[in-house]
Amino acid sequence: MISPDTLKRDITWLVFDQYGTVVDMQGGLVEAVSPFLIEKGWTGKPNSFVTWWRRTHFENSMIDALMDQGHTPYRTIGHRAVEHVMNRAGIAHTQDEVRWLVSQIEKLKPFPDVIEALQRLRDSGYRLAILSNGDRDMLEAAKPHIGFAMDETISVQEAGYFKPHWKTYAAAEDIIGAERQNILFVANHEFDCVGAKTFGMRAAFIDRRKRPFGGWPAQPDMIVADFKELAASLTA
């Protein structure tokens, strides 16, 4: 890790992961699916259902990128993941219900500390962007629910691969027009920080879940508890 003063000197753009970093994906989806699961008579834990869903989605998106047979939309991956989890849980369902569950991703709210921190960063002169595995239309639909206008919102569709493929970070670098060493990539996910760092960006790990960062050669430049600490470190 390097000093915040060095980052403040070099960084002109902050690029954020959206799902689980800017918006509360786990909490928001648990809230959305709980009434649905009760109605279905499923007696398991909604948090477990969402965890299975997200893990299956992540695994399937990584398989999609590794096969290199053309990019599959995030929404399509989501439909497959939800249907798999419904079958695993023994929940009878329709395709309309699968589509409805995946659509709840577009309505997720930001973590409580996010908006104030983003405004503080912007007021300090940084430019701000999203780089997300979500589809373009999903990211567009999410904007009113987030309530903060980024300078750029970039889907991995522009690269044709899911993160952490290096082409996703290269696409972001090209679109925002900044050199990679002047970009701080911010994520709550270890894999995303590793991907950005390996590409040559700086990286900040938001450690909301209080988990150690793995022993990767590519380590984050800073580890902070939340967006409030991130903004304080970069604007003090």
CATH number at residue 41: 1.10.150
**pLDDT at 34 > cutoff 80:** yes
142 & 189 share domain: yes
Shared-domain flag, residues 228 and 140: yes
Domain extent, residue 46, equals 25-107
CB 30 within 8 Å of CB 48? no
152 and 101 fall within a common domain: no
What is the chain's mean pLDDT, rounded?
Answer: 96
Residues 185 and 71 in one domain: no
Per residue in 108-155, pLDDT (tens digit) is 999 999 999 999 999 999 999 999 999 999 999 999 999 999 999 999
Percentage above 90 pLDDT, the chain: 94
33 and 133 both lie in a single domain: no
pLDDT tier, 101 (very low <50, low <70, confident <90, very high otherwise): very high
Give the chain's domain count: 2
**Given pLDDT bands bounded at 50, 70 and 90, which one contains residue 1?**
confident
Report the CATH number that the domain containing residue 176 is assigned in CATH.
3.40.50.1000
- Looking at the fold, whether 221 and 120 belong to one and the same domain comes out as yes
pLDDT tens digits, one per residue of 195-233:
999 999 999 999 998 989 999 999 999 999 999 999 999
